[in-house]
Copies of this chain bind each other. A is one copy, B any other.
Amino acid sequence: MSFFQIKAGILTVSDKGSRGEREDQSGRAIREILGRIRAEAVQYRIVPDEPKLIKKALIQWSDQGLDLILTTGGTGFSPRDFTPEATKAVIERETPGISEAIRISGFQKTPRAMLSRAVSGIRKSTLIINLPGSERGVRESLEAILEIIPHGIEILKGTDSECGTKKYRNPQTRKKGRGVK
């Protein structure tokens, strides 16, 4: 029997990145951290800060049945920051608790977290989460929500419609369980 596997997409939103003028360290950080919840990045794309291109990727990947899409970039106050608007345009159900949890954990570190306009939500059976653009922001944000993602996805997929049932198989927890003594 294999561990629960999460199929993920990483969407980096950056004008400079899309022109090859900046290395995508944030995207790389996401890929690395995803491994900790046994999620694999099966899709990866860098797009400029164009709502149309952001929406296109989110729609394609959710139509393909990805479990999770993490975006990085375009969530701030800059005149070309439109990732939250593009995300809101394609999601069917908002998941405010995830974005609130990211921001609350951010407030404790820096007042800059107040400038995050990131949102999150569900399209079909895909969970889409906006992360900030900086590598540090990505790491701190994922730290705040990582442990709950596998459970959220299991419920979303209908493999666990009831909270607290035996069916819940978070590999992290299992590993921790084994590790004890």
Q: Which residues of A contact B (CB under 8 A)?
A: 76-82, 84-85, 92-101, 103-104, 107, 111-117, 119, 122, 125, 127, 133-134, 145, 147-148, 151-153, 155-156, 158, 161, 163-164
Contacts and interface: CB of A to CB of B under 8 A. Distances in A.
Given A93-B84, A103-B100, A115 B148 contact: yes
Given A93-B82, A116-B97, A155 B103 contact: no
Nearest to A75: B97
This chain's copy number in the assembly? 3
Given A104-B104, A107-B101, A156-B77, A96 B117 contact: yes
Contact of A79 (B94, B95, B134, B156): B156
A115 B95 CA distance: 7
B76 A85 contact: no
Contacts of A104: 100, 104, 107
A168 to B, nearest CB: 10
Taking each of A77, A80, A93, A116, which has the highest tally of chain B beta carbons within 10 Å of its own beta carbon? Answer: A77
A163 B156 CA distance: 35
B78 A158 contact: yes
8 contacts: A77-B122, A78-B155, A81-B93, A84-B94, A93-B117, A101-B107, A104-B104, A114-B152
A38 B115 CA distance: 20
Contacts of A76: 155, 163
A50 B152 CA distance: 21
